[in-house]
Chain A
Amino acid sequence: MKAIAMSEDDDLILSDLNDEELVEQMFDDLYDGLKEEIEEGVNILLERGWAPYRILTEALVGGMTIVGKDFRDGILFVPEVLLAANAMKGGMAILKPLLAETGAPRVGKMVIGTVKGDIHDIGKNLVSMMMEGAGFEVVDLGINNAVEAYLEALEAEKPDILGMSALLTTTMPYMKTVIDTMVEQGIRDDYVVLVGGAPLNEEFGRAIGADAYCRDAAVAVETAKTFVTRRHNQMNA
């Protein structure tokens, strides 16, 4: 349902809407995967003096949260989520350089990558985007990562979180190889390890020694926030 009632023939002028209506409309536009409209909405809010971080969290992340919820509930499917993500990406592209300039808060840092033998990155990319939207710095290692690539990145980037993704049942066991190597090297407990991907489940996450399995991008963000807060509290205790 559209936030602003209108007939099929009406052209909605986004700049005519007040802030609240515009954000509501942007939720709808994200839901419908309308990239150009999202870009326009972001630019209007910037012109009205909204801080980039506020636009990101209230308009974009807020809208994607609705998309994520409906995906989880089986109302939306992968194609619709991809279109929505693509629209959000358009908005993010405008905001990203401005976020760096305006010193948006940094919640934590994550290194993320799809495991060796697996080239599927839709879920990983979605998590990266939502994590960035939530204020995390994300170092994306891309696809088909061997254990050495993960370890090098951990050493170089010193993140709070390591995220691993897999779509295939044939590749998901490789996550255990990575975690076992971290244990062997005595660095396992230096990081929060989050895993995700369509064939995984909580039991698998526990069995391989991850800190948590995240069923979707929204859960990944919430889980990451919880672990990072706990970690910071422990460090400050």
Chain B
Amino acid sequence: MPDLNDQSLTIDGLAPNGRGRVLIIACGALAHEILAIKRMNGLDHLDLQCLPAILHNHPERITDAVRDAVEKHRADYDRVFVAYADCGTGGLLEMACADMGVGMIRGPHCYAFFDGVDQFESRGEVTAFFLTDFLARQFDAFVWKPLGLDKHPELLSLYFGNYDKLVYLAQIDDPELDDLARKHADRMGLAYERRFTGYGELETAIKHA
């Protein structure tokens, strides 16, 4: 069982263990979920490599990072699957995956594929700020500190003044994470909603990887 320390998933990602015929190259923010899906479904043919989750904050770097990882490892596996959605790359990741002949997850981002891409889009919640399990745990590293709110809380309304609620998309039932996400909403001055999604379309994608 690999060490799934959230901080190392954020900064370093996760190295593949070299076992399995199909390599999943994923965002570090999905490591817990993908390994759970693998375990629950007996998908022993899958190996997992994660890129640093903090790339979430630098989407312009994702495409090259994925391309490098695919090129580096593809010869060692029968197949590679990219467990990213568009994730702010503006179609560049999709083009790169098509170019490399590897599959990826449908949709704009993880919020959409956890909730269900079509359902997420039909909700049209443009004034909602979303968190997943991972982002609820790593809120300070992904939101609070990079936006300078730890030093300048007075900037809060400039960043989030147009938002009205925080929606926590929960992958697992965990009252502590629920409490934590609610605290984040309180800190941001937003209404709070917990929405249980389970693994959503991530599970389908990984099963068919």
Which A residues are closer than 8 A to B by beta carbons? 77-80, 82-83, 86, 117-122, 143-144, 168-170, 172, 199, 204
Q: Which residues of A contact B88 (CB under 8 A)?
A: 168-169, 199
Are B159 and A122 in contact (CB-based, < 8 A)? yes
**B156-169 interface bits toward A, Cβ cutoff 8 Å, 1 = contact, 0 = none:** 00110011000000
Are B126 and A79 in contact (CB-based, < 8 A)? no
Closest residue to B92 on the A side, CB-wise? A169
Instruction: Give the number of A-B contacts (CB < 8 Å).
Output: 45
Q: Which of B89, B108, B149, B162 contacts A143 (CB 8 A)?
A: B162
Are A79 and B86 in contact (CB-based, < 8 A)? no
Q: Which residues of B contact A86 (CB under 8 A)?
A: 158
Q: Which residues of A contact B8 (CB under 8 A)?
A: none
The docked-state distance in angstroms from the alpha carbon of A118 to that of B86 is 17
CB distance from A113 to the nearest CB of B (A): 13
Are B159 and A119 in contact (CB-based, < 8 A)? no
The docked-state distance in angstroms from the alpha carbon of A204 to that of B60 is 14
Q: Which residues of A contact B158 (CB under 8 A)?
A: 82, 86, 122
Q: A77-B148, A79-B151, A117-B126 are in contact. List 12 more A-B contacts (CB 8 A).
A: A78-B148, A79-B148, A82-B155, A117-B124, A119-B126, A119-B127, A121-B162, A122-B158, A144-B126, A169-B90, A172-B90, A204-B90
Q: Number of contact residues on B: which range applies?
A: 20 to 34
The docked-state distance in angstroms from the alpha carbon of A169 to that of B108 is 8
The docked-state distance in angstroms from the alpha carbon of A199 to that of B158 is 19
Q: Which of A82, A118, A121, A172 contacts B126 (CB 8 A)?
A: A118
Which B residues are closer than 8 A to A by beta carbons? 59-60, 86, 88-91, 108, 124, 126-127, 147-149, 151-152, 155, 158-159, 162-163
Q: Which residues of B contact A204 (CB under 8 A)?
A: 90
Are B89 and A169 in contact (CB-based, < 8 A)? yes
The docked-state distance in angstroms from the alpha carbon of A172 to that of B59 is 15
Closest residue to A204 on the B side, CB-wise? B90
Q: Which residues of B contact A117 (CB under 8 A)?
A: 124, 126
The docked-state distance in angstroms from the alpha carbon of A86 to that of B154 is 10
The docked-state distance in angstroms from the alpha carbon of A226 to that of B40 is 61
Closest residue to B159 on the A side, CB-wise? A122
CB distance from B151 to the nearest CB of A (A): 7
Are B162 and A83 in contact (CB-based, < 8 A)? no
The docked-state distance in angstroms from the alpha carbon of A213 to that of B107 is 26
Are A170 and B147 in contact (CB-based, < 8 A)? no
> Chain A CB within 10 Å — which of B126, B147, B152, B159 has the most?
B126
CB distance from A122 to the nearest CB of B (A): 6
What are 24 contact pairs spanning A and B, CB under 8 A? Answer: A77-B148, A78-B148, A79-B148, A79-B151, A79-B155, A80-B148, A82-B152, A82-B155, A83-B155, A117-B126, A118-B126, A121-B162, A122-B158, A144-B126, A168-B88, A169-B88, A169-B89, A169-B90, A169-B91, A172-B90, A199-B59, A199-B60, A199-B88, A204-B90
The docked-state distance in angstroms from the alpha carbon of A82 to that of B114 is 33
Q: Which residues of B contact A80 (CB under 8 A)?
A: 148
The docked-state distance in angstroms from the alpha carbon of A117 to that of B120 is 13
The docked-state distance in angstroms from the alpha carbon of A114 to that of B196 is 31
Q: Which residues of B contact A168 (CB under 8 A)?
A: 88
Q: Which residues of A contact B149 (CB under 8 A)?
A: 79
The docked-state distance in angstroms from the alpha carbon of A119 to that of B108 is 17
